[in-house]
Amino acid sequence: MTDHDNDTKQALLEQGQGSGPPAPVPPTFQQMSSSASQPRSYSQTRLGSLGRTFSTRNLFGVIEEWAKGVPIPKDSREFCESSLRSELERKKTHVQHLTFVDENAEMPLQDLLEKWNVDINKGLTTEQAKQRLETFGLNQLESDPPTPIWRLFLEQFNDILVILLIAACIVSMALGQYAAGTTIVIIVMFNAILGAVQEHGAGAALDALKALQVTNATILRNGVEEPIDGTMVVPGDVVILNTGNSAVADIRLTEVQDLESNEASLTGESEPVKKTIAAHRAAHVTTEEKKSADGNTNGAAAAEEESKKEDKLTLSNVVYMGTEVTNGKGKGIVIHTGMKTKIGLLAERLKSVDSGQSPLKAKLALLGVRLGMASVFISLVIFVIGVSTGRGADPTSSDPVWLQMLLVAVSLTVAAVPEGLPVCVTMSLAIGMRHMTEKNALVRKLASVETLGSTSIICTDKTGTLTCGKMTTVQLWFDHTHYKVTGQGYNPEGMIYPMADEGKKNKGGTTDDDAKTAFEKVKTERSVESLLTAFVLCSDATVELEDVKTINDRGEEKVTQEWQGTGNMTERSLVVAARKLGIERTQLTNGYAEKAQNPFSSKRKMMSVIVEILNSKQEDDAKSTKPGIGAFTPIVEEGTKFVGITKGAPNRVIERSTLMVENGAVVKMDEKKKQEAIETVNQLSAQALRVLAVGIRPFKSMPEDTSAANVEQDFIFLGLNAAIDPERPEVITAIAKAANAGVSTVMITGDYLATARAIAENIGLLRKGEDNADKVMDCKELRKMGADITRMEKDLQGKALTRDQRQKLNAELDVLHQKVDQITAKTKVYARAEPFDKITIVESYKRQGHVACMTGDGVNDAAALQGANIGVAMGSGTDVAKGAADMVLLDDSFATIVAAIEEGRKIYSNICKFVFFLLSTNVAEVFVILIAMLAGLQSPLVPIQILWLNLCTDGAPAVALALEQAEPGIMDEGPRPLSEPVLEKIQLTGIAIQTVLETALCLYAYIQGLMWNTGSWNGHNSANTDDENKHGVRKAQTIVIYLIVFLELMRAYTSRALRTSVFSMGICSNVNMQYAVIFSVVFTLYVLKFFSFFSFPETFHFRPCVGVCRGKRKRTHS
CA distances, 1049 to each of 95, 355, 412 (Å): 59, 40, 22
CB-based burial label for 502 (10 Å; 0-12, 13-18, 19+): middle
Listing DSSP states for 909-942 in one string gives HHHHHHHHHHHHHHHHHHHHHHHHHHTTPPPSS-
Cα separation, 1071 vs 1079, whole angstroms: 12
Cα separation, 91 vs 1059, whole angstroms: 52
Count other C-beta atoms under 10 Å from residue 35's C-beta.
Answer: 8
Are the C-beta atoms of 245 and 227 separated by less than 8 Å? no
Pairing of strands 250-262, 238-241: unpaired
Say which DSSP state 444 is in: S
Secondary structure (3-state) at 690: strand
For 738, phi then psi, to 5°, come to -65, -40
Cα separation, 558 vs 14, whole angstroms: 49
Are the C-beta atoms of 317 and 276 separated by less than 8 Å? yes
Give the bridge partners for 887, in sequence order. Answer: 443, 872
Cα separation, 435 vs 441, whole angstroms: 9
- The catalytically annotated residue of 102, 258, 461, 501 is 461
Listing DSSP states for 772-831 in one string gives -GGGEEEHHHHHHHHHHHHHHHHHHHHS---HHHHHHHHHHHHHHHHHHHHHHHH--EEE
Q: Is 715 left (phi over 0), alpha (psi -120 to 50) or beta?
A: beta
3-state helix, strand, coil in the chain (%, to 5): 50, 15, 35
CA distances, 519 to each of 483, 496, 507, 718 (Å): 10, 5, 19, 20
Say which DSSP state 123 is in: B
Are the C-beta atoms of 647 and 666 separated by less than 8 Å? no
Q: Using alpha carbons only, what angle is made at residue 416 by residues 415 and 420, rounded to the nearest 5 degrees?
A: 75
Residue 352: name the closest of 24, 804, 770 by CA: 24
User: How far is residue 808 CA from its own chain's centroid?
Assistant: 37
Burial 411-446 (b: 16+ CB within 10 A, else e): bbbbbbbbbbbbbbbbbbbbbbbebbbebbbbbbbb
For 1045, phi then psi, to 5°, come to -60, -45
Catalytic residue status for 461: yes
Are the C-beta atoms of 716 and 635 separated by less than 8 Å? yes
User: How far is residue 93 CA from its own chain's centroid?
Assistant: 20
Cα separation, 551 vs 554, whole angstroms: 8
Cα separation, 345 vs 835, whole angstroms: 12
Residues designated catalytic: 461
